[in-house]
């Protein structure tokens, strides 16, 4: 089964999770689903500061925000990899088809 790792990045854990949702939503439309829990990682120490299931109501509310925000973004905006230390947090999850 094809799998893909998704990382959302942000200056706060909430921002990182919202970015992760923006990346996940189009993949879910293609049939991908999460196979791991979401981990929020401090990028300096590389330690997991929080872990939760994608259905956790505390964090799932950001899904709706991300779907609204996605419609306001420029679809032609180029992706650029973050520079080291640019984002203090990342939210990661593995998805499979």
- Per-residue pLDDT tens over the stretch 22-43: 999 889 889 999 999 999 999 9
pLDDT digits (tens, 9 = 90+) for 38-71: 999 999 999 999 999 988 888 878 887 777 765 5
Kindly state whether residue 75 falls inside one of the protein's structural domains. no
What's the total number of domains in the chain? 1
Which pTM does this prediction carry? 0.81
Does any domain span residue 25? yes
CB 38 within 8 A of CB 51: yes
Question: What is the DSSP-derived secondary structure letter of residue 12?
Answer: S
pLDDT of 76 > 50? The answer is no
Name the band, by pLDDT with cuts 50, 70 and 90, for residue 81.
low
Query: What does the H/E/C string look like for 25-88?
Result: HHHHHCCCEECCCEEEEECCCCEEEEEECCCCHHHHHHHHHHHHHHHHCCCCCCCCCCCCCCCC
What range does the domain containing 37 cover? Answer: 3-70+83-96
User: Is the pLDDT higher at 67 or at 89?
Assistant: 89
Please check whether residue 64 lies inside any domain of the structure: yes
Residue 12 maps to a domain? yes
What integer pLDDT is reported at residue 84 of this predicted model?
A: 63
Task: Look at residue 71 in the predicted model and tell me its pLDDT.
Answer: 54
């Amino acid at each position: 089964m094809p799998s893909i790792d998704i990382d959302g990045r942000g200056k706060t854990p909430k921002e990182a999770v919202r970015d992760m949702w923006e990346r996940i939503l189009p993949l879910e439309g293609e049939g991908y689903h999460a196979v791991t829990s979401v981990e929020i990682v401090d990028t300096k120490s590389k330690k997991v500061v929080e872990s939760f299931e994608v259905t956790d109501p505390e964090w799932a509310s950001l899904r709706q925000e991300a779907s609204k925000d996605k419609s306001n973004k420029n679809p032609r905006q180029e992706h650029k990899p973050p520079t080291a230390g640019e984002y203090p947090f990342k939210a990661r999850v593995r998805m499979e088809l």
